[in-house]
Structure 1
């Protein structure tokens, strides 16, 4: 087994152990209501941060290009309550067409 696979295995074990640590620490105790509500918001905040980072940055600089317009199309399509696949296709198509121009 080469070094890469050894690293992958150890990182997988570490990630699994880190996830299990939450069950061991919290156990059967209930979290305070405020903390439980905050924990429910973390995935949406992280997803939003990753989308904004991927849309408005390019390596080391802040840019506004066709990706921003694609994101705007996706936001409008989601606001209109279109199906998720339609939102993704509209955003990708808009971005691709603008890159061709």
Structure 2
């Protein structure tokens, strides 16, 4: 097949790039000094990306709205996480909320 060498090459390039990116952290740890402002911006940026990923996963399905049961489950889990409930409780409550709403006929 004609696409196999390109696919294998792409996988190898991505694997090497990922390894190099992960290796750069320990190698540059003592050599690069970031200001407190840059560290704060990086931390805030990571949080914003995580929230955007969670919102996208919670609200969309197959390029459309995921209906109401899934966002309600994520909201229930989010509230429990905010209240510092144990992780297992957060996951079970989110899944149970979504399942119960779907059993009740809420899409």
Structure 2: gaps (5+ residues) = none
Structure-2 residue corresponding to 1:36: 39
Aligned alpha-carbon RMSD (Å): 2.7
Q: Does structure 1 residue 77 correspond to structure 2 residue 89?
A: no
For residues 68 and 53 of structure 2, the distance between their equivalents in structure 1, rounded to whole angstroms, comes to 17
Q: Does structure 1 residue 100 correspond to structure 2 residue 103?
A: yes
CA-to-partner distance for each residue in 1:31-54, whole Å, 9 max, x for gaps?
A: 122111111223322211111001
Relative to the length of structure 1, the TM-score reads 0.75
Q: Does structure 1 residue 10 correspond to structure 2 residue 13?
A: yes
Q: CA deviation at 1:70?
A: 0.4
Range moving further from structure 2, 56-65 or 86-95: 56-65
For residues 24 and 36 of structure 1, the distance between their equivalents in structure 2, rounded to whole angstroms, comes to 18
Larger RCO: 1 or 2 (CA < 8 Å, sep 6+): 2
Give aligned pairs, total: 100
Structure 1: gaps (5+ residues) = none
